[in-house]
Structure 1
Amino acid sequence: MGLFLAMLPLLLHYIIFNLYKLGYQKKDQCCYMLSYECHKAAEDQKLDPRSSARIISRNKNLGIEEYKFLLKTTVSSGIGEETCIPKNIMEGREESATLMDEISEMDGILFDAVDKLFAKTGVSPSEINSIVSSVSLFSPAPSLTARVINRYKMREDIKAFNLSGMGCSASAVAIDLVKQLFKTYKNSFAIVMSTESMSSHWYPGKDKSMMLSNILFRTGSCSILLTNNRDWKNKALMELTCSVRTHIGSNDEAYNSCFQAEDDLGINGFRLNKDLPKAGAKALTMNLRVLLPKVIPLSEVLRYRISYYRNKIMKRPTPKDAGPGLDLKSGIDHFCVHPGWRAIIDGAGQSLALNDYDLEPARMALYRFGNTSSGGLWYVLGYMEAKKRLKKGDKILMISLGAGFKCNNCVWKVMKDVEDTNVWKNCTDQYPTKTLANSS
């Protein structure tokens, strides 16, 4: 007993020290978004109905059935008539794209967004400690991050990462990677660049599951500046409060739902098959089971649990349109859904019991800019900002789905009222549109 009493102060000191250390580490693990910039392609890259018809007519592999499929799917896709594609496709060289076409496309997209980012924030390229690119279908040597480092003459000890093959959810992966880096590197600045290479990936075949990529994917990108330096907190737009990554690649159906492959004619393409909606729903459900308890008030979680077990005991059926059961809006103010496809947006809305106001930003981003792959979430966020929806203290749930199959979601807290018109400048008043049909 005497020995225990003698050791008690030491034990208490150890416990207090570790609790303090844990609290200090958690406090120090912050991730602020200082700014973001989306790329807006030139007018001569716009895929209007006339340009679309011209490109389709060049594909000699198509028959009557394929033409009918293209017309029907394009009209109902949720894609508008002002989206853009790479220059080489507009010039009729989609089947003979060169390495220089790909490099030129990436340079134009990435440098434009990064130039604007530095100009807007006043941060010098020499201050950047980490840089991450997320481009699925193009991985050159030297890498894309190396090209950016060379252009801006960045520091020699910069940490560079190039993410490939991760599809539309790669931007959220890159954000989570930066968050992990911030745990080790204090007072750092990081840039995330999210886009997709299309110049050599336009599908000229007749496989309907591969033709979908031509209808949906368009030119676009985003660059995001992040920091964990608390001296910049008052200048930050948002703070990352939570991020959860879910990967169900062990499931064969999910793994094959988004797949780069060759068709029966040996033509490369990106296949989106019938298992995609099912894989997306499964991955989203698994992700939200982990994420929501971290952001939803405890009172709402308890209410849901009580209701769930009561219905289970009384054997009450759950309505198909009941959503997740939890009141998401008790902890989330805005929903930034990946603008991948009209069916994806509508499916996410039904699963989460979201209304037209919640889904409007994703629908308008898809309509105006198309599916810009991993950069798409930021066009949705830009719409919210341009429409002056984001107020200090609001919480934003970003939902992204991508090949693998994966679902990567994160929650941002708005640090101040934001209302920059950004990439939506000069067209904000035109949206929302009265119809999402494409006359092509």
Structure 2
Amino acid sequence: MMELIPLSAVLMMLAITLTMGSLAWKATYRHRHSQCYLLDYVCYKPSDDRKMTTDMAVSVLERNKQFGVAELRYLFRLYSRAGVGEQTYIPSCVFAGRENFRNHQDGVDEMDAFFKDAIAGLFAKTGFSPRDVDVLLVNVNVFCPEPCLSSRIVQHYGMREDIAAYNVSGMGCSATLVCLGIAQNVMRARAPRPVLALVVSSEALSPGWYCGKDRSMMLGFALFRCGGAAALLTNNPALCGRAKMKLRHIVRATVAANDDAYSAILQREDADNIAGFSINKTLPKAAVRAFATNLKRLVPRILPARELIRLTTDLIRQKMLRRERVKINVNLKTGVDHFCLHSGGVAVIEAVKKNFGLDEVDVEPSRMTLHRWGNTSASSVWYVLSYMEGKGRLKRGDRVLMVTFGSGFKCNSCMWDVMGDIADKGAWEECIDEYPVESTANVSLDKYGWINDADHDDSSFF
């Protein structure tokens, strides 16, 4: 009996060891399959016959019977300061002269053109087929038809019956990272099963094209343009060698409880019952506030220990001095190599640059994206990322901070790790060598010199 005791103990220890080893292996295996990798993405380039040149913009404005000289002058001045160039794109219905009589089909046609180009291009580029997709996430802010846009994509591409399809609307320009967060959560929930997720981001301008004369609602004409992006993501570690980047963190923040932030961008009707989006001059301030709120949670995850220690020491010192207003200067560059900022407008870009200690080279991709493509809503950050890639700036091991701003007011951010040197020019291929431009001022407006004759200028938003 005494001789059996050591053997029993050995067997028990062996069982415990095997159990713990099995649990550790399962945890490690599950963790590996909980990662989120960006395989590739495609930015939509509309046809050249939809380009919005300055001359085209002027003709669109001049045929609006509601506009007098004051409204024309105001919009021309906004347009000259918006930082938007001659290569951006607008809906086909505007070229057809139907901006005052647009219909539901115009929105459908606008989305179909994007779906059939960018999504098909992504499948061709990656070698995957529509039936390989397990999860589909579509975000379009203002256009929500029935059946929904995600069902329209499933129908057009003949995707599987068991695909998990999501349709996100009303989330503004920050919706891309909302969908990335959903994709990441689905991958974690399904781990260790491999998941292939398709994220589609765009905006339908046709339904929201504003033709009234409320000045706070005219800003969209100078900023928003057609665009879109489609991205493929996976949690399959067997495909990580093909991936461009790996997702590390996603942080979402909203300051909607603040009245000024909530009303910074607001869909409403004007005095003539014409619907549109009111953009308040408090927008840059709301963006900075939302970004600061976001950074409170993001900073501990992305900055190195030495910077966190410096921040903590500075905070304690200011508290000991009993300063009423504590200001912490965060050096984001200690944990970030590239800043992929939403190209929402010149004022937003400048506000973020000034308040968070960024240099011109940090905001260059966002500024050049605004000039080439305009504000393409939720898809804009993919054009910014494509600019960095096209310039050959993304190297293995680099860290990319992607930041989006949206109505509400929201700031969503995520950190990517670059998996290898990447330099695909994508939608920028035909023009990347022309950038950066020395100035984003609209020189084409020189021939419309009468816009500068006004004594009063209230277009200071830009």
State the Cα distance separating 1:248 from its structure 2 match. Answer: 2.2
How many residue pairs align between the two structures? 430
State the Cα distance separating 1:20 from its structure 2 match. Answer: 7.2
Name the CA distance, whole Å, in 1 between partners of 2:189 and 2:157.
25
Cα pair distance change 1:314/1:414, threshold 3 Å: same
Question: Structure 2, unaligned stretches of length 5 or more?
Answer: 1-12, 446-462
Cα pair distance change 1:275/1:114, threshold 3 Å: same
Name the CA distance, whole Å, in 1 between partners of 2:373 and 2:266.
23
Matched, 1:250 2:257: yes
- Provide the residue aligned with 2:84 in structure 1: 79
Which of 365, 368, 373 is the equivalent residue of 1:369? 373
Name the CA distance, whole Å, in 2 between partners of 1:48 and 1:135.
25
Name the CA distance, whole Å, in 1 between partners of 2:291 and 2:18.
44
Q: Is the 8 A contact 2:134 2:195 kept in 1?
A: yes
Which of 214, 235, 238 is the equivalent residue of 1:228? 235
- Provide the residue aligned with 2:403 in structure 1: 399
State the Cα distance separating 1:249 from its structure 2 match. Answer: 2.2
- Provide the residue aligned with 1:198 in structure 2: 205
- Provide the residue aligned with 1:421 in structure 2: 425
Which of 99, 105, 108 is the equivalent residue of 1:94? 99
What SS does structure 2 have at the residue aligned with 1:292? helix
Name the CA distance, whole Å, in 1 between partners of 2:242 and 2:25.
28
% identity of equivalent residues: 41
Name the CA distance, whole Å, in 1 between partners of 2:245 and 2:439.
32
Name the CA distance, whole Å, in 2 between partners of 1:200 and 1:389.
37
State the Cα distance separating 1:12 from its structure 2 match. Answer: 11
One-letter amino acid of the structure 2 residue matched with residue 158 of structure 1: I
Q: Is the 8 A contact 2:283 2:348 kept in 1?
A: no
Q: Is the 8 A contact 2:398 2:417 kept in 1?
A: yes
Give me the CA root mean square deviation: 2.2
What SS does structure 1 have at the residue aligned with 2:221? helix
Which of 285, 290, 297 is the equivalent residue of 2:297? 290
Which of 27, 40, 43 is the equivalent residue of 2:45? 40
One-letter amino acid of the structure 1 residue matched with residue 231 of structure 2: I
- Length-normalised TM-score, structure 2: 0.89
Aligned pairs for 1:149-164 (under 5 A) are 149-164=154-169
Q: Is the 8 A contact 1:32 1:227 kept in 2?
A: yes
One-letter amino acid of the structure 2 residue matched with residue 180 of structure 1: N
State the Cα distance separating 1:34 from its structure 2 match. Answer: 0.3
Name the CA distance, whole Å, in 1 between partners of 2:329 and 2:16.
45
Q: Is the 8 A contact 1:337 1:348 kept in 2?
A: no
- Provide the residue aligned with 1:269 in structure 2: 276
Show CA shifts across 1:364-385 (max 9, x none): 0000000000000000000000
Cα pair distance change 1:325/1:20, threshold 3 Å: farther
Name the CA distance, whole Å, in 2 between partners of 1:305 and 1:384.
33
> Greater CA deviation, 21-30 or 67-76?
21-30
Aligned pairs for 1:33-432 (under 5 A) are 33-185=38-190, 186-314=193-321, 325-432=329-436
> Greater CA deviation, 198-207 or 355-364?
198-207
Cα pair distance change 1:42/1:319, threshold 3 Å: farther
Show CA shifts across 1:369-423 (max 9, x none): 0000000000000000000000000000001010122111001110010001110
Larger Rg: 2
Q: Is the 8 A contact 1:76 1:438 kept in 2?
A: yes
Name the CA distance, whole Å, in 2 between partners of 1:11 and 1:303.
45
> Greater CA deviation, 63-72 or 263-272?
63-72
Name the CA distance, whole Å, in 1 between partners of 2:264 and 2:321.
38
Q: Is the 8 A contact 1:45 1:90 kept in 2?
A: yes
Q: Is the 8 A contact 2:62 2:72 kept in 1?
A: no
One-letter amino acid of the structure 2 residue matched with residue 151 of structure 1: H
